[in-house]
Structure 1
Amino acid sequence: MTALHEELKAEQETRESLEQQWKRELELVEKLGALSVPENGAPDAEQIAAVRAELASVQGEQPLVHALVDGGTIGEVISGWTGIPLGKMLRDEIDTVQSLPALLGERVLGQDHALEEIGKRIKISRARMEDPNKPIGVFLLLGPSGVGKTETALALADTLYGGERNVITINMSEYQEAHTVSSLKGSPPGYVGYGEGGVLTEAVRRKPYSVVLLDEVEKAHPDVLELFFQVFDKGVLDDGEGREINFRNTVIILTSNTGTDRIMQWCLNTEQKPTPDDIVEGLRDELNQVFKPAFLGRLTIVPYYPVQDAILERIVGLKLERIRKRFERNHQAVLRYDEALIKAIASRCTEVDSGARNIDNILSKTLMPELAQRVLERMAQDKPIQSLTIDLGSDGDFAYTLA
């Protein structure tokens, strides 16, 4: 009985403490509102800062009264659903942004300079040092095919927004005519397609927290590119129905092969390859012939280097590791391969201008179909798979050993 009385007393003290905290927070929030909209003159910045500091001190990590509905308020609701403390959620997000280049570098190899530049811009935005009425970042990635430009967009979506499903991909080669603008933003009233939404605007309306990938942007009509001026400047775009679509929580990635031949030529000598800034300056005239200077001025231009042999082998290793994990997860069996297989696949990527894309062709058109055939044959025999080893046969083709 004594223990129950002690517990009741403790609960009453907690309740009184929370009531006092709530009253004090409410008082400070009301004071903050009055200071923000004074009857005469301009708001007193020093007083407002002092009240905000006191309010933050009183609230701690579990505020009871919110001055406004922001990311923290929404985070608290999610915290209540998931059981994860709000402070930890926000700290985890900040930790992710601070270590973004390293996290992206686990998937995008050999482009550290590009990942650092992208990470730097996103850090500025996350620290609220950038114009809040613009997208988090707008980047033009230049370089040959297969060097990691698209993979960067996928990695960003996975790291910042929780999965590759949050990538909105627009193939800009499909917008080479001026009239195709309407398909991006939706048809206006009275025209065919009105009410269906635009390919771009509807996707962003449904997924406002996403990476927007504008692939092969140099192939789009100039009138189509002008559509994005409003997005880059104000972070919004009016769709065909007059709705304002918010792009302020998106990262926009544009990819282009402009200047690929010159980049390849400049980087033939890997010991004396130019700096990223040198590449951008060297391509300035060519870029100005393809894009309007006003368009380029709204972008952060990030060049990508051609993939070297050593990097190619590491990429092969990454892709084989994904296959191994998927196989072991789905079949509860061991998949083995050795360094010789990695080198053999990398050596078959002889087309310099295709980069890592040739790896995907080899894996998807040769290794994966052959691997699937062996697995299905074993499944048809109703025999369990305990292990599978992939190596090179005497004829140089892939060989598979199941046990």
Structure 2
Amino acid sequence: MTLPAELREMENEVERLRTQKEDAIRTQAFEVAARLRDTERKLRAELEERKTEWKEQRSKAKTTVTEEDVAYVVAKWTGIPLQQLEEAESAKLLRMETELAKRVVGQEEAIKAVSRAIRRSRAGVKNPNRPVGSFIFLGPTGVGKTELAKALAEFLFGTEDALIRVDMSEYMERFSTSRLIGAPPGYIGYDDSGQLTEKVRRRPFSLVLLDEIEKAHPEVFNLLLQILEDGRLTDSYGRVVDFRNAILIMTSNVGTRQFTLHTNLGFAKAGDETFSYDKMRETVLNELKRAFNPELLNRIDEVTVFHPLTLEHMRQIVEVMLRRLQEQLKERQMSLQVDDAAKEFLIQQGFDQNYGARPLRRAIQRYVEDGLAEEVLRGRFADGAAVRIRKGEGAGLLFEGAEPVEATQ
């Protein structure tokens, strides 16, 4: 039984008076000790009286369980934040494409395919014994495959922590595949739970991302067949793990490397974007059929080939990345403004035809985050400062606050 804050403060005050009284007695300040004793007795009597009244009121009151209490308990069990549970499911699903497009740029087809599959499952027109959705994301590096998985986890479950990421390059050997469900009895690692099954068992409402699935040993695909068909998997302890409330996404670069030797897949010119994508899609899908067995592909809800990025996409992506940096700076009550010339400079520095949008992130780290961090450490920008970044005369950016400073290269 927890006392109200007011009564706890009174208890602390009584304890403080008792300590002062004992100190006064040790120093032979008996008059002070007598006054403290009288004050302590009076306050202790008042405390006991108020405790009695509080206990009587508590015994008469009836405890009521509200909708908020139930929602809080369910949120703790499932890992889905409270605000997501309170929001109407239908309204959230109808605006799915709009919300995902705020984070993932230039991949409208992939977003629509994922949204359709999720709505089918949530509307109850899909086999209930299978996962909520199963997808294969194909395409060159740096075009948003993993970012879409993160955005989907945050949209459906309220946090990116609901994303269970498994790097399949760790399961290239036959003996390593058992780590997904746990080592069998008598083998080293039996006491350790499965890398995949234990995480899903503890958080059944989650998104499982199998990154670079083409690197996995073929035995891994046998485990995936059971998940995709029956929505369950048995771990090394004999416990049945339910995957019916999970979303399964596999990413792969299969078929894109040989295409990169002749064309630049990370970006495409505006004029030949359609031609480049159609040719790449055909090549990638043909290679996918050669790399994976038909029984696995037949159980996948959607196979999506991501589009190459154009310069127009890059202008949208730099806005997304800078907006994310602005959200981080809000923790220090700082604001950030970047003019158009500075954004174009970042795009030029982050342009790499072979690696998609990832070089842009490194350019922002080098020219914006590093320069801003140095100025904060120098004391030019304190908490609550407003920072404006513009293109300098040379090959750098200017940070305007107390005074313009050339960014460190």
TM-score range, shorter chain: 0.7 to 0.9
The answer to which of 332-341 and 214-223 deviates more is 332-341
Matched position secondary structure for 2:393: coil
What is the distance in 1 between the residues matched to 2:125 and 2:277? 25
Q: 1:259 aligns with which of 227, 233, 255?
A: 255
What is the distance in 1 between the residues matched to 2:282 and 2:126? 25
CA RMSD across the alignment: 2.8
Counterpart of 1:306, as a letter, is: P
What is the distance in 2 between the residues matched to 1:391 and 1:228? 51
Indicate conservation of the 8 Å contact 1:276/1:302, yes or no: no
Counterpart of 2:71, as a letter, is: I
Structure 2 residue runs without a partner (length 5+): 1-66, 76-81, 403-409
CA distances 1:315-368 after superposition (whole Å, capped 9, x unpaired):
0111111212321x2222332211111111111223212111112222234431
Report the equivalent of 1:117.
113
What is the distance in 2 between the residues matched to 1:384 and 1:236? 50
What is the distance in 1 between the residues matched to 2:205 and 2:199? 10
Report the equivalent of 2:321.
319
Paired-residue identity, % = 35
Indicate conservation of the 8 Å contact 2:201/2:242, yes or no: yes
Matched position secondary structure for 1:254: strand
Counterpart of 1:251, as a letter, is: I
Q: Are positions 1:297 and 2:298 aligned together?
A: yes
The within-5 A match list for 1:52-71 is none
Indicate conservation of the 8 Å contact 2:376/2:382, yes or no: no
Q: 2:174 aligns with which of 170, 174, 178?
A: 178
Report the equivalent of 2:393.
394
CA distances 1:293-333 after superposition (whole Å, capped 9, x unpaired):
22222222101001110111110111111212321x22223
Q: CA deviation at 1:286?
A: 1.2
CA distances 1:190-213 after superposition (whole Å, capped 9, x unpaired):
111113211111111111111111
What is the distance in 2 between the residues matched to 1:161 and 1:275? 35
Q: CA deviation at 1:100?
A: 1.0
Report the equivalent of 2:225.
229
The within-5 A match list for 1:45-124 is 77-78=70-71, 92-124=88-120
Indicate conservation of the 8 Å contact 1:146/1:355, yes or no: yes
Structure 1 residues 251 and 197: CA distance shift in structure 2, 3 A: same
Q: Are positions 1:286 and 2:287 aligned together?
A: yes
Q: CA deviation at 1:270?
A: 4.0
Q: CA deviation at 1:282?
A: 4.3
Structure 1 residues 89 and 268: CA distance shift in structure 2, 3 A: closer
What is the distance in 2 between the residues matched to 1:389 and 1:91? 37
Matched position secondary structure for 1:212: strand
CA distances 1:72-120 after superposition (whole Å, capped 9, x unpaired):
xx999317999xxx9x957622211122111101110111111001100
Q: CA deviation at 1:185?
A: 0.8
CA distances 1:36-93 after superposition (whole Å, capped 9, x unpaired):
xxxxxxxxxxxxxxxxxxxxxxxxxxxxxxxxxxxxxx999317999xxx9x957622
Structure 1 residue runs without a partner (length 5+): 1-73
Report the equivalent of 1:189.
185
Report the equivalent of 2:239.
243
Indicate conservation of the 8 Å contact 1:173/1:220, yes or no: yes
Structure 1 residues 80 and 144: CA distance shift in structure 2, 3 A: closer
What is the distance in 2 between the residues matched to 1:169 and 1:89? 24
Give the number of equivalent residue pairs.
323
Specify the structure having the higher radius of gyration (Cα): 2
CA distances 1:107-144 after superposition (whole Å, capped 9, x unpaired):
10111111001100111001111100111111000111
Indicate conservation of the 8 Å contact 2:350/2:362, yes or no: no
Structure 1 residues 275 and 112: CA distance shift in structure 2, 3 A: farther
The within-5 A match list for 1:149-160 is 149-160=145-156
What is the distance in 1 between the residues matched to 2:155 and 2:199? 20
CA distances 1:215-246 after superposition (whole Å, capped 9, x unpaired):
11111111122211101111111111111111
TM-score calculated relative to the size of structure 2: 0.73
